[in-house]
Amino acid sequence: MLQFTISFWFEYTFDKFQRDIYPQFKVNELKRFPINEAEDRFFEKKIIKGVEKIVSKKKRFNKLKNIKFSKLTLKYTSKLGFNLENIIKNSNFTNEIYSGRARKIRNYTININTNIVTIYLDKSSSGKYEVLKFEEDNRYKRQYLKYYLENLTDEQLAEIDEKYSGNILKKTLQIEIPDYDKEHVVKKVVKEWKDLQQEIKDLENEIDKIDRGIDRMVYKLYDLTDEEIQIVEDSLDS
């Protein structure tokens, strides 16, 4: 951003916008560059401090983004579980919707409407199959199902596809959900995953806030007008 703004100031001030040509600057033009040494040092320190914060927060952000739900569940769950077919047997309401011939298991999407869980599966092209709908009164179990199915890795989806037979409904019903009957485990996993996602979101907002603050300091340092700032931001967005 800083390097772009310096270049922009010269090009805009001296009308050096030329397609595919790097602008050449003269000595007398460089003398007009708006630098106040005391103010420059002040902003330089603040900019460096801001950049260091961004680097630190991005490291944390990238580390958290790489945490997979499947790895998180392994911390608390056993290898034992109930498949969806057994889970929905205890439900007050069940609707096994899909009756077609599609067999390929792709990414799942789970919709929760009050206590009704609806399972969708990606089609080979665009759109989704509505596969299964059932009632689950426990809110932690609803969230656990959503997180578990939506975060299945490509390897896990491929394993489900090869391991089980039948169409996408029959394969889905055979998916095992680890420790679904242990509410304390389910609750712990759900809470930790939600906390993790919230920290990731907070870090994104903090990084964006610091980044915008650095931009404002750079604009002030080089005395850019509102019109010039708009040109800079439009160029960065394009």
pLDDT at 169: 97
**Does residue 157 carry a pLDDT above 50?**
yes
Between CA 153 and CA 155 the distance in angstroms is 5
Average pLDDT value for the chain: 85
Mean per-residue pLDDT for 130-155? 96
pLDDT at 217: 84
Residue 30: pLDDT band with limits 50, 70, 90: very low
pLDDT at 24: 52
pLDDT at 194: 96
Mean per-residue pLDDT for 167-188? 95
203 or 11, greater pLDDT? 203
pLDDT at 88: 94
Q: Over the stretch 41-93, which tens digit does the pLDDT of each residue have? A: 777 788 888 889 999 999 999 999 999 998 889 888 887 888 999 999 989 99
Mean per-residue pLDDT for 95-124? 96
Residue 127: pLDDT band with limits 50, 70, 90: very high
Q: Buried b / exposed e across 29-54, counting CB within 10 Å, b at 16+?
A: eeeeeeeeeeeeeebeeebeebeebb
**Does residue 36 carry a pLDDT above 60?**
no
Q: Are 121 and 163 in contact (CB under 8 A)?
A: no
Which range, of 164-173, 196-205, 222-231, averages the lowest pLDDT?
A: 222-231
pTM of the model: 0.75
4 or 98, greater pLDDT? 98
Between CA 125 and CA 98 the distance in angstroms is 17
Residue 19: pLDDT band with limits 50, 70, 90: very low
Domain ranges for the chain, please list them. Answer: 2-66+196-237, 78-180
Closest among 61, 31, 50 to 218, alpha carbons compared: 50
